[in-house]
Amino acid sequence: MANYQPGYNILDINLNNGTFDLYARKFVRSNGFSFQADVDSLPDGKTSGNIPKTEYYELAKNSTNKDSDLPNGYTADVDRIVTLLIGKSIYTNPYIFVRELIQNSVDACNRLREILFNVNPKIIVNINSLENFIEFTDHGDGMSKYILKNHFSVIGKSISQEFNDHTGHFNLISQFGIGFISTFIVAQRVCVTTKRLDDILINFEVTNVFKGFDYSSKIHTHLESESGTSIRVYLKQGNYAQNLLSHILTYCRHIDNMEVNLDGAKIELSNTWNTEGCFRVIEDINDRFVAKIGIGLDIRSIYTSNSGFIINAHGTNAFPFRFPGIIGGEVNFKPKAIDFDVSRNNIIDNEKSLAFRKHISSSARKLFRDVIESGNIELTERIMQYISYYIEYFEANNAKMTASYNDFYSKRELFDMFIKNSRFVFGHRSQNLNDIFLELSRLGLNRIYTITGRKFEEHEEIVIEYLRDNGNFVVDPPNFNIQFQDGGHNVNMLNVFHAIGGEYGFSITDVLSIKEHILHDMKKDKAQYDTKLVQHLSDIETKHSISIDIADFKNSLKPSIRYDTQFLLNESHESFKSLLTHLDTFLPETIDVYLLGLLGLQLS
């Protein structure tokens, strides 16, 4: 058995200085299964040199082409390919090519409009599930021999980008010249038929991006105009044409003059803006984008699109920091108005996106104001939840809010909105916080009592009711989670009340921390009651080792409450009042039984 076996080679390319190093390694069986420098193949097992400076590299040698003016296959603009492709997976969705080819058709139609101003070219997409292909036909400007050779067959060189650069109109979508290549993720073969105005019709088939173009007179489609392009994509086994419809409907948000057919049946295309069911919608139309943004009770995303094609459904880099999740809709950017990555699925965070964030941020103010002025109570309550968050985290978020919003609320504005539009129960009715503060000030009260949202014991409930009955403001500040466009966040309303109380001169006190003091204040002086009653209470205290006092629970239906060994009789309870009325007519045994019943104690 041979001592040396084939190993591996390493090619190290330095694109900055245009050099390369090639290392050869051979596999050694007799030395612990290791690799050594392959000096038999290369001196010292290594060689170096300069990268050839050819601009384009031929990827195909075989072709049926007999016309020197037509390309034989694809060539690559190496610099752009290195920038765009190496080390990245551009298209995570294998069906993304439907978006790419429809974008190319839209550009072709727009280029024709630049030449013939009175035309309205159509785009027709036919899905054939029986023969498992999808066909994209546009009545745009089509391609000539020159364009096929110098643009279509060059990976990384966009027809539309060059058109934009030359005309300065910047109304075309494509930028990178790699969209058509994405078909080969799932394509078995691709048939292309194209015709330019006053030029011949060209028909060819591509089975592999690295193989030549197979030219033929066999035409797969009929172009119903003087110019246009038809691309038919036959799918590989395991990929199904009918599945492409949902992707077309997802990617194509607002495409004019496009028709989609599935097995001959025309599909109805919607033109929604993700604002269905919104309470209020505002439109913003300018030379950079069209935006329709609405507010409602439901949490909804904000779609971002470019020239009618969706970028994504969350727009993280396009919208301000902590932008409310109840504000949703869609923004359709015009070409060059926003920058996105090569996959066209993510907006790049740069000066353009920052300028848009600041511009669109004003919609939050407008929609909040419209809802509050409309008197919509339920939606106003939701808005106050967002205002609560902004108050609680004002110091922590202020720098990011200021950088992301054109004119974010000042702290005083947030306080003012909250107290005027947040409603709480006070005096047994719902009132806004501003009116509550005014009434407390009138009564000379400067304290807000807070309770935690849990199940209270009887004596704690009585303390809360006692405070409320005596004109105090007792609030149960809830904790809740609210959704922003960049995720969900918790709000602790107790922190909000501490902030607001400090601003308006009210101290915040936890009821349960002072309940013993309140219970003591509730007790009546026993000396004001009949001595017979006091004596009976004293006997029961001794016999049961408890303490009994009398208090006024007012609105409570409980005859008494207990905490530990302490009992409080409710002076306002009808049964206690009845006992006082009949005290002189009841036998001592009857009085004891009556009191034990009110206290909830068993007979001895």
CA dist 511 → 314, 475, 519, 565 (Å): 43, 10, 11, 21
Both structure tokens of 12 = 């190290």
Domain residues of the chain, as ranges? 4-53, 75-267, 280-375, 378-517, 523-599
pLDDT of 206-251, one tens digit each?
887 777 889 987 776 666 668 999 999 999 999 999 999 999 999 9
Residue whose pair of structure tokens reads 């034989």 in the numeric block: 72
Confidence class for position 38, pLDDT limits 50, 70, 90: confident
Picking from 321-335, 490-504, 589-603, which range would have the lowest pLDDT averaged per residue? 589-603
What mean pLDDT do residues 318-347 have? Answer: 90
Amino acid at 137: T
Question: What's the whole-number mean pLDDT along residues 170-185?
Answer: 63
- Closest to 360 (Cα-Cα) out of 307, 273, 418, 302: 302
Name the DSSP class of 3. Answer: S
Q: Give the pLDDT score at 84.
A: 46
Compute the average pLDDT of residues 486-498: 95
Q: What is the pLDDT of residue 158?
A: 60
Report d(CA 487, CA 319) in Å as an integer. 12
For residue 537 the two structure tokens come to: 């209470």
Confidence of residue 42 (pLDDT cuts 50, 70, 90): confident
φ and ψ of 407, to 5 deg: -155, 80
* Dihedral of the alpha carbons of 233, 234, 239, 242, in degrees to the nearest 10: 70
pLDDT over 90 at 474, yes or no: yes
Q: How confident is the model at residue 170 (pLDDT cuts 50, 70, 90)?
A: very low
Among 158-172, 237-251, 378-392, the range scoring the smallest mean pLDDT is: 158-172
Q: 34-38, 292-296, 549-553: which has the highest mean pLDDT?
A: 292-296
- How crowded is the C-beta side of 440, counted as CA atoms within 13 Å? 23
- CATH number of the structural domain 280-375: 3.30.230.10
pLDDT digits (tens, 9 = 90+) for 84-129: 443 344 666 788 889 989 999 999 999 999 888 889 999 999 999 9
> Is-same-fold flag (75-267; 280-375)?
no
Two structure tokens written together for 56:
């384009």
Residues 63-90 have a mean pLDDT of 60
Residue with the larger pLDDT of the pair 33 and 434: 434
Please, which pLDDT band fits residue 9 given cuts at 50, 70 and 90?
Answer: confident
Average pLDDT, the chain: 86
Q: Which is more confident, 525 or 53?
A: 525
* pLDDT confidence of residue 531: 93
Q: What is the pTM (predicted TM-score) of this model? A: 0.76
**Closest of 251, 45, 81 to residue 156, by C-alpha:** 81
Length of the chain: 604
Residue 290, both tokens: 């069209």
**241-246-248-253 Cα dihedral, nearest 10 degrees:** 170
- CB neighbours of 145 closer than 8 A, spacing ≥ 6? 67, 69, 70, 199, 200, 202
**pLDDT for the residue numbered 20:** 80
DSSP state of 253: S
List CB contacts of 429: < 8 A, sequence separation 6 or more.
none
Tell me how far apart the alpha carbons of residues 3 and 321 are, in angstroms, rounded to a whole number: 65
The residues near 504 (Cβ < 8 Å, ≥ 6 apart) are 415, 419, 437
- CA–CA gap between residue 156 and residue 145 (Å, rounded): 18
Q: Which of 215, 209, 230, 97 is nearest to 155 (CA)?
A: 209
Question: If you ran DSSP here, which 8-state letter would residue 39 be given?
Answer: T
**How many other C-beta atoms can be found within 10 angstroms of the C-beta atom of residue 284?**
17
Nearest CA-CA partner of 322 in 422, 397, 416: 397
Q: Determine the topology of domain 75-267 in CATH.
A: Heat Shock Protein 90 (3.30.565)
Quick check: 551 and 569 in contact, CB under 8 A? yes
Return the HEC string of 407-460.
CCCCHHHHHHHHHHHCEEEECCEEEEHHHHHHHHHHCCCCEEEECCCCCCCHHH
- Which of the 8 DSSP states describes residue 199? S
Tokens 């002076």, located at residue: 571
Range of weakest confidence among 115-119, 125-129, 475-479, 482-486: 115-119
553 pLDDT exceeds 80? yes
Does the pLDDT at position 2 exceed 60?
A: no
Mean pLDDT of the 461-474 span: 91
| Element holding 389 (H helix, E strand) | helix 377-392
What does the pLDDT average to over 446-469?
88
Q: What is the mean pLDDT of residues 596-603?
A: 90
Q: What is the rounded average pLDDT of the residues 16-42?
A: 73
Element (H, E) at 249: helix 244-251
Does the pLDDT at position 475 exceed 90?
Answer: yes
Per DSSP, the residues of 170-182 read: ------SS-TGGG
- What average pLDDT does the segment 51-64 reach? 62
